């Protein structure tokens, strides 16, 4: 995996962010989801790297990146803090502007990044999420049963941490195998990478903090925006067999939060880049390549 990519660790405001960098052309930042790492992109980067310089980091708290101490308000794991990491990484690599392909938690980071740094984000693809605030606001019994981990992981420490640490492999396999055809499509090599990450108590705690921040300070940041919308073009894609399709009008919710939104479904579950990489590439490449100047 990631043949020809370099490994780099970039320090941003004291936080070490691990990433793989490879390819040629304009910069494309790829942001992973939960409970994954940058490895989730392994099926699509060979093709993407023919046209883009692909930057594939582990978000803070995940994989080989640092797990900084948290605070009572969970601010170190806010999407604003995680987005600032990514801006710092791209600047360190010499990229003042770039495009984004993002999934799950990484897509929530991308959303905040496009709000806080609109001059840097040229356009972005968001995979299989609706906006965090709107998802919480639309909670139903059915949604809560499907997104059980949202409500489990935000419980005060160390309850979820201890429960996951009792059998990290079972937890990761259960989570990755329960949404759509994800468990069948994820390679064993990728699953082992995710399991290895969640065998570290620091990763488990940091990931819980990511979710605790989403339920608290991230929503505070959204509310403080005063209705500000993302201005860059957004392509939103979600699995036709997944929970987003079942519970939300995804395009309508994103059009409340962004000015220029297109999108639709791909025939799979949650893990689009691993379940249907060819479909993802066919759908996203024209959008990501649009209006390239270099």
Known active-site residue 270: yes
Q: What is the mean pLDDT of the chain?
A: 95
**Residue 126 near residue 110 (C-beta atoms within 8 A):** yes
pLDDT tens digits along 104-148? 999 999 999 999 999 999 999 999 999 999 999 989 999 999 999
Confidence of residue 291 (pLDDT cuts 50, 70, 90): confident
pLDDT tens string 22-67: 999 999 999 999 999 999 999 999 999 999 999 999 999 999 999 9
At 125-137, the pLDDT tens digits run 999 999 999 999 9
From the centroid of its chain, how far is CA 124? 12
The CATH number given to 6-289 is 3.40.50.1820
DSSP 56-72: EEPPTTSTTS------T
- Give burial (CB, 10 Å; 0-12/13-18/19+) of 77: buried
pLDDT for residue 183 is more than 90: no
Instruction: Tokens 């059980």: give the residue.
Output: 148
pTM of the entire predicted model: 0.97
Strand order, beta sheet including 53-57: 6-12, 15-23, 53-57, 27-31, 98-103, 121-127, 234-239, 261-266
pLDDT digits (tens, 9 = 90+) for 201-218: 999 999 999 999 999 999
* Percent above pLDDT 70 for the chain: 98
pLDDT per position as a tens digit, 65-92? 999 999 999 999 999 999 999 999 999 9
Residue pLDDT, tens place only, 155-172? 999 999 999 999 999 999
Q: Residue 184 above 90 pLDDT? A: no
> Which of 104, 128, 210, 218 is flagged as catalytic?
104
* C-alpha distances in Å from residue 220, one per residue of 78, 107, 214: 10, 18, 9
| 104 a catalytic residue | yes
What is the predicted pLDDT for the residue at 257? 96
For every residue of 177-217, DSSP letters joined together read: HSSTTHHHHS-HHHHHHHHHHTTSHHHHHHHHHHHHHHHTH
């Amino acid at each position: 995996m990631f043949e020809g990519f370099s490994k780099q660790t970039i320090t941003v405001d004291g936080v070490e962010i691990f990433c793989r960098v490879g390819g040629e052309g304009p910069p494309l930042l790829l942001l992973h989801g939960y409970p994954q790492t940058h490895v989730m992109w392994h099926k699509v980067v060979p093709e993407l790297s023919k046209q883009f310089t692909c930057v594939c980091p582990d978000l803070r708290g995940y994989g080989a990146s640092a797990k900084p101490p948290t605070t009572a308000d969970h601010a170190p794991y806010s999407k604003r803090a995680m987005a600032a990491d990514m801006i710092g990484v791209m600047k360190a690599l010499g990229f003042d502007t770039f495009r984004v392909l993002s999934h799950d938690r990484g897509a929530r980071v991308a959303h905040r990044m496009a709000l806080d740094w609109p001059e840097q984000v040229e356009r972005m693809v968001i995979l299989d999420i609706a906006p965090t605030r709107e998802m919480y606001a639309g909670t139903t019994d059915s949604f809560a049963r499907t997104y059980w981990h949202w409500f489990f992981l935000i419980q005060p420490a160390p309850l979820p941490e201890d429960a996951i640490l009792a059998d990290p492999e079972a937890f990761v396999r259960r989570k990755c195998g329960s949404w759509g055809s994800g468990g069948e499509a994820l390679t064993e090599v990728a699953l082992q990478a995710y399991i290895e990450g969640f065998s570290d108590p620091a990763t488990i705690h940091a990931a819980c903090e990511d979710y605790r921040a989403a339920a608290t300070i991230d929503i505070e940041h959204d509310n403080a925006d005063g209705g500000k919308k993302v201005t860059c073009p957004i392509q939103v894609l979600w699995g036709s067999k997944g929970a987003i399709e079942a519970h939300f009008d995804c395009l309508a919710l994103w059009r409340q939060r962004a000015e220029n939104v297109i999108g639709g479904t791909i025939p799979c579950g949650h893990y689009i880049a691993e379940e249907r990489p060819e479909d993802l590439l066919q759908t996203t490449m024209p959008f990501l390549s649009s209006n390239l100047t270099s």
